[in-house]
Amino acid sequence: MTVLASLVIDILNYVGIIAFAVSGALKAIEKDMDLLGVVVLGFSTALVGGITRDVLLGVTPPVNITYLPYPITAIVASLAALPFARYVTRGIKPFLYADALGLGAFTAIGAQVAFTHGINPLGIAMLASITAVGGGVVRDLLANEVPMVLSREVYACASIIGGFAYWPLVELLPGDAALIVTVLVSSIRIAAIERGWSLPRARSLAWKGDRPRRRRSS
């Protein structure tokens, strides 16, 4: 990987840690948790995906615990979100873009780590997307909600596409694969936000005669 690509991904990784921590903190505020809940949800959203990846690969203790700048960034970002929580909701554009950049960087880093551990292409895609969306799943479980990524627009899907793209890319362009994956995932996610893309509901594929919306319109 070139020095520049490495630097870009490193910066976007911090953008992701901050955006993810803020999304955890906002969820904690929404659920009327206390200060500790804000830090725990912020930390978990930002870092539990990477921790899970490391545990699955046998990298213990996980980097997100041992490399201090990561947990400190997540904790500070969670607390810093508090005074701005009136203005920054998860729905505003600048926040969604930061989140999309983080999604891309997390996916690329997860794919890289899995690849260097000799995992197969399907496993790379799984570990890349666990890195990117695992934290959000834990945030929603702690808030006692169905994880957003399982029932909403193109989010985890963008990460999975990037995870699958990493393996052919790293064979062809070993120096640039991570950066291309970052750009790819972030672009898909941003396009999905702008154009309102969503995956088909499972139910619409499963039960052809049982769609409430159509019944109402008839």
Where on the chain is the footprint of a second copy (CB under 8 A)? 25, 28-29, 31-38, 40-41, 51, 55-58, 60-62, 65-66, 68, 71-72, 82-83, 85-86, 117, 119-120, 122-123, 126-127, 137, 141-147, 149-152, 156-157, 160, 198-203, 205-210
Which residue, 136, 146, 65, is CA-closest to 99?
136
Identify which of residues 93 and 203 has a Cβ nearer to a second copy in the complex. Answer: 203
* Least distance in angstroms from the C-beta of 129 to a second copy: 9
Closest to a second copy by CB, 12 vs 156, is: 156
CB of 148 to a second copy, least distance (A): 10
Cis peptide preceding 94, ω within 30 of 0:
no
Burial bucket for residue 202 (CB in 10 Å: 0-12, 13-18, 19+) = exposed
CB nearer a second copy, residue 7 or residue 35: 35
CB of residue 100 to a second copy, shortest distance in Å: 17
Greatest Cα pair distance, the chain, in angstroms, is 61
Query: Cα torsion for 50, 56, 57, 58, to the nearest 10°?
Result: 110
Q: Please identify, using beta-carbon distances, which residue of 147 and 183 lies nearer to a second copy.
A: 147
Cβ at position 117, least distance to a second copy in Å: 7
The CA distance from 137 to 124, in Å, is 19
- Output 152 or 195, the one with its CB closest to a second copy: 152
211 three-state secondary structure: coil
Q: Which is nearer to a second copy, 5 or 59 (CB)?
A: 59
CB of 47 to a second copy, least distance (A): 10
Please, are residues 43 and 76 in contact by the beta-carbon 8 Å criterion? no
CA distance 108 to 114: 10
Q: Smallest distance from the beta carbon of 58 to a second copy, in angstroms?
A: 3
Tokens of 5: 């690509």
Q: Are 103 and 16 in contact (CB under 8 A)?
A: yes
